[in-house]
């Protein structure tokens, strides 16, 4: 049994405890340094185990329910879940079972349950691999599934759930003239890599030739179509992929975000890529100035990113929706005051909820007489005209491009201000 494999599994179990027990997002846990003591390979393994367990959680729990009289303590349950997913995906039973028994056995609180872990996982090892592929695709929790079904219908949501379960390849945006890390260039211009491995080891990373950015997340800047020397404001800029796109186009970019911690990552990527932007920590609602163009990637439910962040449906419960809708409205109205006459603003959210996209724009058009939707701006390479919505925005969904590996869910609208 590998000590490093056991350490990665132990860390994965702890992360699941934080997500499923404390409602913390995986990104929050990683930013807190939970995996910092592990080597690069073990960090990657721990994260992979967490993501795969969350994607397959419904299946794992159904299999485990056949062998448990009652639900054990969360840590033990998560050890069983990780073990079940590994076993059903073909990991050697001996290593998985022994590792989980050791992890639980060393716990002062749960050590007495190591026999249970051994017995249950051995039964799963015998039955699970055959049963796993016959089980239904895991569904979203009801708090999220129901509003999505109302918006898009059962068939579309089922297709989204399949995309979530499949997971996401690695997408990168290559700087003009930069070295591509390989992979395939998909219709919107993003480079997509399957089974990419360790990101920092890929060709061109250290030289700053590209940055990680989902294909859908790269579309808003392509819609904004920045020009050299334009004065552009990137509101809610972190983690910075769109800032890098704007800077690479030669724009005079101000990147503003309320989180200094997240902006530090933006600064690091600017240095790595040799690009420049004015990075400011501050509240978007307090910012002042006048800009040729504005990109507002508004705070949202992030429900469009579940294929990459399967922790989200378990760390959240939808209780923040109304506050987010109100914040988006206030941010859009304030951003409009920062835009010069004749300027353009791209509003976007990585959400699947119409209240954070289509509805926001419909209502904004009623509030602002000098606001017009520019649907022609959406005619960028790779965009299907059928994705353009009634009010003139662009709706992207995880069930699009299934043959290419999908995309995040996004809403994007380009708004022009009268002269």
Can you spell out the DSSP letters for 83-136?
HHHHHHTT--HHHHHHHHHHHHHT-TTTGGGHHHHHHHHHHHHHHHHHHGGGSP
Could you tell me if 173 and 190 are in contact, meaning their C-beta atoms sit under 8 angstroms apart? yes
Backbone angles phi, psi at 325, to 5 degrees: -60, -45
Could you tell me if 412 and 348 are in contact, meaning their C-beta atoms sit under 8 angstroms apart? yes
Q: Phi-psi bin for 353: left (phi > 0), alpha (psi -120 to 50), beta?
A: beta
Q: Is 236 a catalytic residue?
A: no
> Shortest CA distance to 360 belongs to which of 308, 351, 369, 77?
351
Q: Which two tokens stand for residue 29?
A: 């846990």
The alpha carbon of 25 is separated from its chain's Cα centroid by a whole number of angstroms, namely: 11
Catalytic residue among 88, 348, 350, 414: 350
Burial degree of 118 (CB within 10 A; 0-12, 13-18, 19+): middle
For 10-77, the three-class secondary structure string (H helix, E strand, C coil) is HHHHHHHHHHHHHCCCHHHHHHCCCCCCCCHHHHHHHHHHHHHHHHCHHHHHHHHHCCCCCCCCHHHH
Taking the C-alpha atoms of residue 261 and residue 30, their distance in angstroms, rounded to an integer, is 12
Q: Phi-psi bin for 279: left (phi > 0), alpha (psi -120 to 50), beta?
A: beta
Q: Which residues contact 57 (CB under 8 A, 6 or more apart)?
A: 81, 138, 314
Taking the C-alpha atoms of residue 240 and residue 255, their distance in angstroms, rounded to an integer, is 8
Q: Taking CA 106 as the corner, what is the angle to CA 105 and CA 109, rounded to the nearest 5 degrees?
A: 85
Q: Which residues participate in catalysis according to the annotation?
A: 350
């Amino acid at each position: 049994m590998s000590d490093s494999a056991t350490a990665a599994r132990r860390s994965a179990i702890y992360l699941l405890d934080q997500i499923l027990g404390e409602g913390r997002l995986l990104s929050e846990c990683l930013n807190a340094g939970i995996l910092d003591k592990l080597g690069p390979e073990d960090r990657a393994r721990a994260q992979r185990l967490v993501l795969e367990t969350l994607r397959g959680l419904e299946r794992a729990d159904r299999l485990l329910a056949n062998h448990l009289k009652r639900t054990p303590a969360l840590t033990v349950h998560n050890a069983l879940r990780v073990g079940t997913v590994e076993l059903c995906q073909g990991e050697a039973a001996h290593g998985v079972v022994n590792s989980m028994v050791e992890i639980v056995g060393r716990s002062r609180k749960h050590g007495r349950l190591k026999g249970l872990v051994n017995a249950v996982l051995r039964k799963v090892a015998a039955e699970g691999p055959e049963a796993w592929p016959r089980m239904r695709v895991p569904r979203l929790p009801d708090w999220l599934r129901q509003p999505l079904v109302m918006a898009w219908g059962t068939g579309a949501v089922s297709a989204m759930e399949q995309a979530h379960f499949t997971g996401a390849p690695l997408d990168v945006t290559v700087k003009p003239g930069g070295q591509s890390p390989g992979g395939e260039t998909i219709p919107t211009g993003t480079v997509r890599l399957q089974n990419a491995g360790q990101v920092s080891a890929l060709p061109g990373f250290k030289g700053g030739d590209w940055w990680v950015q989902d294909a859908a997340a790269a579309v808003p800047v392509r819609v904004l179509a920045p020009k050299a020397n334009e004065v552009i404001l990137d509101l809610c800029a972190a983690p910075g992929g769109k800032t890098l796109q704007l800077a690479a186009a030669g724009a005079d970019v101000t990147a503003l975000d309320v989180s200094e911690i997240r902006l530090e990552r933006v600064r690091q990527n600017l240095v790595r890529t040799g690009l420049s932007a004015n990075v400011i920590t501050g509240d978007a609602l307090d910012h002042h100035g006048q800009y040729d163009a504005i990109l507002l990637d508004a705070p949202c439910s992030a429900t469009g990113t579940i294929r990459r962040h399967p922790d989200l449906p378990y760390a959240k419960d939808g209780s923040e929706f109304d506050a987010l809708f109100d914040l988006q409205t206030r941010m859009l109205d304030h951003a409009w005051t920062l835009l010069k006459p004749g300027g353009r603003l791209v509003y976007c959210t990585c959400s699947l909820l119409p209240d954070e996209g289509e509805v926001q724009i419909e209502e904004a058009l009623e509030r602002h007489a000098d606001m017009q939707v520019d649907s022609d701006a959406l005619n960028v390479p790779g965009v299907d005209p059928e994705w353009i919505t009634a009010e003139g925005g662009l709706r992207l969904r995880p069930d699009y491009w299934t043959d290419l590996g999908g995309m995040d869910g996004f809403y994007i609208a380009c708004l022009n201000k009268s002269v």
